[in-house]
Amino acid sequence: MRLTHFSDCIVISAARTALGLSEMTASIDMLTFNLLQHDVLVRGGFTVGNAHHDKDFVFGTALNRAYVLESDRDAGARHPMVLCSPEVMDDVKGYGESCLACFQQDGQERWFLHFLMRFSRYTHEPIYAGKVIMDDPAQRVRDFICRRLREDKGSVLEKAQWLADYWNRTVASLGVFAEVDASIEPANTSRGPTIMVRRIFGSAVSG
């Protein structure tokens, strides 16, 4: 798997295999989680195709397709999500229900990576070594969403409303973390962002 960033873009690529799909979903999920802790919303496209990706260059049909998925005014992501192509979802469905659970639908045949899954699957018990306690990061995200609902305008507000609906439907409905709403005053009790780290190893090169 490779990762490149430039300007406000991040490009991640991996082989079209079960391992590659797992690496991609885990990396996108963690990046999205970390950026949410800074009130930065992610929008992108997740697709398949030919691509050249090394430390100097990134190009190919897969990159072009991902750009269209992210930016198309009619069929693109529009809201803060990583929208998946039909080919990606064909692969996902082929790997079974446990893989499909990492994705959510946004209307008919529109699937995106379920970037709130860490919150929706969280339970306070049991406590074990290495467990990330999600109460503070959840409250931090709730504060950001509530503040956006109260202060944002126009198309930016529409994105906040979509995110609020997504949170309430997939997270708050399970009863561990509370709902978000424009009437809720942000608590501002966060002690700072909770950031997760994932190390990416490149392929070994023999001389």
What average pLDDT does the segment 4-19 reach? Answer: 91
> Measured between alpha carbons, how far is 106 from 191 in angstroms, rounded to an integer?
33
Q: What single letter denotes the amino acid at residue 180? A: V
Largest CA distance in the chain: 63
Tokens read off for 22: 């797992």
Rounded to 5°, angle at Cα 43 from 131 and 164: 65
What average pLDDT does the segment 76-97 reach? Answer: 94
Supply the pLDDT for residue 173. 97
Residues 160 and 149 sit within 8 Å (Cβ to Cβ): yes
pLDDT band at 156; cut points 50, 70, 90: very high
Q: What is the mean pLDDT of the chain?
A: 90
161: which residues sit within 8 A by CB, 6+ positions away?
149
Residue with tokens 């005014």: 73
Neighbouring CB atoms inside 10 A of 129's CB total: 4
Residues 138 and 123 sit within 8 Å (Cβ to Cβ): no
Residues of the chain with pLDDT > 90, as a percent, come to: 75
Judged against a pLDDT cut of 70, whether residue 70 lies above it is answered with: yes
What average pLDDT does the segment 158-181 reach? Answer: 96
Supply the pLDDT for residue 198. 63
pLDDT band at 204; cut points 50, 70, 90: very low
